[in-house]
Amino acid sequence: MGTFIEPLDFKTIFMDYLLGSPELFFYALILVISFACAKFGMSNKIFLIVLMISCLLFASILGQAIYILILLVIGFVAFKALSRLFTN
């Protein structure tokens, strides 16, 4: 018999079935946050505050401190690249 997924069980839907891994979900979420901040033209200072808070939360959920640095670098590079695309 197959397993049934509850319609509002977003953790199972997004983390397990959509991306296949909880780690990939957090990377994708950081990229979405970077995209949204670049799209709406946030300043670097505000974006870095949002990025630091979200990276600290995600790294504490994942349980490994190296993820903070990796998520920060990926998020900042994505923000800078996307903000250059949206300003031109």
What pTM was computed for the model? 0.69
Amino acid 22 reads P
Phi-psi bin for 20: left (phi > 0), alpha (psi -120 to 50), beta? left
- The pLDDT of residue 1 is 57
**Tokens describing residue 78:** 């994505």
Q: What's the pLDDT tens digit per position in 63-84?
A: 777 778 888 888 889 988 988 8
Residue 88: pLDDT band by 50, 70, 90 thresholds?
low
Count the neighbouring beta carbons within 10 Å of the beta carbon of residue 6. 8
Q: What's the pLDDT tens digit per position in 15-33?
A: 677 766 767 777 888 888 8
- The pLDDT of residue 3 is 73
Contacts of 21 (CB under 8 A, 6+ apart): 15
Ranges assigned E (strand) in the chain: none
